[in-house]
Amino acid sequence: MAITLKSKKNKKRWYYSFLLLVILLTAAGVVLYRCPPSLQDIGRIIQSAVGKISPLSAGKTPAEIVLRGTVYDRKFNELAITYRLFSLSVNPEEVSDQRKVAEALAPYTSEKPESIEKRLKSSPRYLELAGNLDEKQSAQVNALQLKGVYCKAVEPRFYPGHTAASHVLGFMGDGVGLAGVEGKYNTVLQGGTFRQNNILDIDFQGKESLGGASTDIILTLDLDVQKQLENRFREYLAAQGAERGMGLVIEPGSGRILALVNQPSFNPNYFWKANESNRVNRIYNHVLDKELIRPILARAAAIEREGVNGTGLLPETVAAPDYGFTSGMLDTFENQIQLYGSVFGNWESGPNDPEQPGAAPSVTGVQVGVTLASLVNGGWRITPYVVDSIYDHATAKRYCRSNEATNKSHVLDPALSVKIRRELFAKWVMEQENVIVFTADRLKLLKENAFSKYSIQELFVGLAPAKQPKFLLLMAIEQDHLNPMPSEKSLKKTALEGLGKDLLARFVKEPPLEVTPEKPPKRNSENLRQFFISKQLNFHEAPGKAKEQVALMPLVKGMSLRKGLQQLKPYKMKVRISGSGRIVAQYPLPGQPLAGVEECILTLDSK
């Protein structure tokens, strides 16, 4: 009898416990549904959990994870690529025979066994011996089954072109895109499902989402054109003693950006070594003097005033200055052709500093390029773009740019625009070279407090071929001088013009782009080799030099700002701080050499 009552009570208690558990789970589900955590919070929770998991000893490696997508140029040349490699580290406290471990691991490092053994005896914490083992080497280390030896998968991002197109590509830190294409399309590149609103310009062909595996991005850039412009432009600046400039190559009829150059530039592989000013995309953010293109605007306005059946413009020798247009009348024409219109939306977010109320309208290099392109392409103002398509590995299919994605508007009457295209650049056509060349320079005296300085801007605009331009090349240079140098001005213009004509001639001779394959090619083994070489040059001493102790970046992530600054004080670096709270990201990353590094970046978050 007693046993039966006790059994009934236990069953009743179990029933109530189960019911209470169901109620609690239901309530938790309702709360999560009504107040879903942000992706950022989920990411922090996951990172926190992962950080608490101790590494496993060398053994079977986990299944290969999805790598970050590759960024290609329009010919499928690799611009940004992620490799799956392994770091080799040792916990000295777990090693019983240090000599044996040192001899076994020496072939996978650049050190001798004696050096490794000495480091194991003197180091109280995990010691990284190598950072770039491939899968074969990792498997060999795992097969040794050495206690305290660990192979951890790492995914370094590599930019094979180094400075080439760096302002378009942007850069990464802690596995997250921070600028340029890397930043704007981080959700697409990082792997996993994404939707149309993550990359609006691409036609998903009726699918709600893509990205079950890795996804690559194909740009409109042409690496050959990019390198030619960048190398020649950098040489020209050095020869002229100038440091600041910009260059742009676009297709006037489509808006595709084939090359984009900013000087000074930076290497996204080591972006933290560059000053903040070097990372500014000058052609989208730096102001050019509108007076540089005033002759073109006045001539275009005069042709439009005459209309389709006009008799033709008078020669400049007898025509009124600016063909009789006042500044106010030119302003009206500039607004009509949307000189100051937006050119953002595809990958570049816009100027760093908003325009001040009441300030005179400013114009950037890319706005000048778009405006001049509209005067030769039938009056269409086309917002330039760099993202052409994506390749989704999950569906093994390439998804191209949507026809509605390109922002186009007619700023000139279609019939009149044909006349403008024929007559506008007539005085600047060089028939022998089959190009249109326009050059200008502008000297301004700027006052800053009690001081004055000169600002000299030079502009080159070229179009080729002359009758139906397929390439528009824009280059602009800015210099500051205490005194103008009129005797050298004509020489500089001639040199800049010669450079522009030579580049355009090369671009026109390039064979037309054949239909690119639907699927990206195999990974470029030469780029992988260059990656290993760059790491060796960065981390190891040159032969013949005395071995010096190179300071390494300490770990400050997770610390308070005060404690982090105390850790960084001995290295005498400039510290740039973003946000408030505790340190959640740092650049350079922990363990990276500080040779030549003068600045570090700390990102703080109160959450």
Question: Where along the chain do its domains lie?
Answer: 2-51, 166-217, 223-509, 545-605
Tell me the three state secondary structure of residue 540.
coil
Q: What is the pLDDT of residue 125?
A: 77
8 A C-beta contact, residue 132 and residue 84:
no
Residue ranges in the chain whose pLDDT is less than 50:
1-7, 31-63, 352, 483-487, 489-490, 539-548
Q: Say how many Å lie between the first and final Cα of the chain, rounded.
A: 60
Tokens describing residue 527:
């780029």
What stretches of 407-485 show up as alpha helix (H) in DSSP? 414-423
Question: Residue 390's beta-bridge partner residues?
Answer: 217, 399
Q: What is the pLDDT of residue 142?
A: 92
Tokens describing residue 437:
């060349």
Question: Residue 443's beta-bridge partner residues?
Answer: 456
- Rounded CA-CA distance 508/228 in Å is 13
- Closest-CA residue to 496 (of 221, 222, 225, 242): 242
Tell me the three state secondary structure of residue 403.
coil
Q: What is the pLDDT of residue 78?
A: 96
Q: What is the pLDDT of residue 539?
A: 46
Buried b (16+ CB within 10 A) or exposed e, 204-230: beeeeebbeebbbbbbbbbbbbbbbbb
The top-level CATH class assigned to 545-605 is: alpha beta
Q: What is the pLDDT of residue 360?
A: 60
Q: What is the pLDDT of residue 186?
A: 94
Q: How many Cα atoms are found within 13 Å in the side-chain-facing hemisphere of 158?
A: 25
Tokens describing residue 252:
């006037």
Q: What is the pLDDT of residue 50?
A: 39
Spatial neighbors of 465 by CB under 8 A, at least 6 apart, are 434, 435, 508
Into which CATH architecture does domain 223-509 fall? 3-Layer(aba) Sandwich (3.40)
Tokens describing residue 14:
């179990």
Q: What is the pLDDT of residue 111?
A: 85
- Rounded CA-CA distance 563/191 in Å is 35
Look at the alpha carbons of 231, 237, 238, 239 in this order and tell me if their dihedral is positive or negative: positive
Pairing of strands 127-133, 244-250: unpaired
DSSP structural state of residue 593: B
Tokens describing residue 516:
């690119």
